Each structure stands twice: as C-alpha cells, then as structure tokens.
Amino acid sequence: VVGSAITGVFSGGSSEPAKAAAPAQEPRPVMQQSPYGPCHYEMKQFLECATNQRDLTLCEGFNEALKQCKYSNGECAL
C-alpha cells in the first residue's frame, strides 16, 4: 500500500495528496493554556533535552522552538 502511494505520487496519477508520502510535521499537542505561561511546554522539552544530553547542540531544535514560541507570544524579540 505504501509503495503504491509513493509510486502514485511520483507518477502524478494518484488522487492521494502529496503529504501521504512525506508526513507533515506534527503540531504541538493541543493543551489547555498552561498556568505556567504560554511556552511552558517548549521550555520543558528543552530542559529535558539539556538534562539528558552532554552535547547541547543536539537540543538546538528545542531551543529554536522555545525562541519561536516566545517571539510569537511577544515575550522577546529574535
């Protein structure tokens, strides 16, 4: 089934949307507003990564998500 979806995307004959071959990035889980602030989830993810990784460059994605959240919520400028 997956093979036919992929070949269908490349051949252009499939009615399946292109996202069937490459899953879209999952949005952050829908949660109620955190009592700790709008970026609590992103901060928690970054801190968990930083605590568990010796190489903090591996946590850069979490750091970027935290920066974007803060920017989106008007907490700081990039």
Q: Is residue 65 part of a domain?
A: yes
What is the pLDDT at residue 25? 52
pLDDT of 75 higher than 60: yes
Read off the pLDDT of residues 23-53 as tens digits, 9 standing for 90 and up: 455 555 554 556 788 999 999 999 999 999 9
Domain range for 56: 39-76
pTM of the model: 0.51
Q: Is residue 44 part of a domain?
A: yes
Q: Is residue 5 part of a domain?
A: no
Q: Is residue 67 part of a domain?
A: yes
CA 1/CA 5 separation, integer angstroms: 6
Q: Is residue 51 part of a domain?
A: yes
User: Domain count of the chain?
Assistant: 1
What is the pLDDT at residue 4? 47
